[in-house]
Amino acid sequence: MGNLIKVLTRDIDNNSGNFFLDFENAQPTEAEKQQWEQVNEVLMEAQGILQDLQSYSGAGEAIRQAIQQPNDERVQETAWAAVVPLVNKLKKFYEFSVKLEGTLHGLLGFLTSAHCSPTQHLEQEQALARQFAEILHFTLRFDELKMTNPAIQNDFSYYRRTLSRMRINNMATEEENEVNNELANRMSLFYANATPMLKTLSDATTKFVSENSDLPIENTTDCLSTMASVCKVMLETPEYRSRFASDDTVLFCLRVMVGVIILYDYVHPAGAFIKSSKIDVCTQQNICMTRLPPSKSKTCYKSDSVDKKEHHLSE
């Protein structure tokens, strides 16, 4: 753990980069403990969110029947009864994204504070760095599951159409109290995004920078670029990869590397894709594509940010 202090510039990278960030076993120091415990509660909830999303099957058949038989009251009631609990799940997912935003602000406050450099933060606060990595891993995993499940938007669209029709017919519902019109609008914007949780994290990071104007933006961007480089070297170096207790840690490390690159691109005024960037995007993209099985390589590096700027990678 101690040799993380030797962290990387590009010159150090060329000399193999003597460091290892312990994503599997890092434990909080006394200084980290209070913040760590707060974040840990959110991360425990995140596991349940992923399980619920993974098992989300949708109400597609009931909705199809309701559309095909608009005058059959029993069919309409069946579809509505199927959709309402699913929308409550979607509400829970959205509300968790709001909670995650606040959690990220707390972590960034620790990892970018001015009392030491980004490298020293990662050296001294590895447990919090690990939690930051776990948030990024959760984010990309959530969005991967969401992108491959069209039932989410179909269910929510049907819910909103049906609720609107009920209002027109003056049919009050208890469900409207659960998801009022304002909340439904926010949820609609959230789920309309291809990668909603990543968008939440990107906006939250940008907001953190703007709200902490006394903190140089470099504190945040250097923290992100340093973590990206840490992941890169751990994945490139057989000695470090051999320390991973599980093959799943490789995928974890890849997702974290992708996540911090995307956040860096959102926050840095010039983005991550310029030649002078502190992030070696070309090399890191190649690592992502070659270290993954084919079924995972596309989703690991999928984001609006990357898609829009992909042409810079060949420069």
Task: List the chain pLDDT tens, one digit each, 315 residues.
Answer: 444 434 433 333 333 334 678 899 899 999 999 999 999 999 999 999 999 999 999 999 999 999 999 999 999 999 999 999 999 999 999 999 999 999 999 999 999 987 887 777 887 889 999 999 999 999 999 999 999 999 999 999 999 999 888 877 766 566 556 788 889 999 999 999 999 999 999 999 999 999 998 888 999 999 999 999 888 888 888 888 888 888 888 889 988 988 999 999 988 888 777 777 777 777 676 776 766 655 454 445 444 444 444 434 343
Handedness of CA 166, 170, 171, 175 (dihedral sign): positive
Place of tokens 């990206």: 228
One-letter amino acid at 144 equals E
Count of Cβ atoms closer than 10 Å to residue 28 Cβ? 19
Residue 205 vs residues 42, 94, 197, 256: alpha-carbon distances, Å = 17, 18, 12, 15
DSSP state of 114: T
- What distance in Å separates the CA atoms of residue 306 and residue 279, rounded to the nearest whole number? 13
Cβ distance 284 to 234 under 8 Å?
A: no
One-letter amino acid at 33 equals K
- What distance in Å separates the CA atoms of residue 149 and residue 169, rounded to the nearest whole number? 32
Cβ distance 113 to 204 under 8 Å?
A: no
What end-to-end distance do the CA atoms of the chain give, in Å?
A: 36
Place of tokens 């409550």: 88
- What distance in Å separates the CA atoms of residue 55 and residue 47, rounded to the nearest whole number? 13
> What backbone torsions phi and psi does residue 143 show, to the nearest 5 degrees?
-70, -35
Handedness of CA 48, 50, 55, 56 (dihedral sign): positive
Both tokens of 167, joined, read 């209002």
pLDDT at position 95 is: 97
Cβ distance 12 to 278 under 8 Å?
A: no
Cβ distance 259 to 142 under 8 Å?
A: no
257 closest CA partner among 278, 283, 229, 237? 229
Cβ distance 127 to 49 under 8 Å?
A: no
DSSP state of 71: T
pLDDT at position 171 is: 67
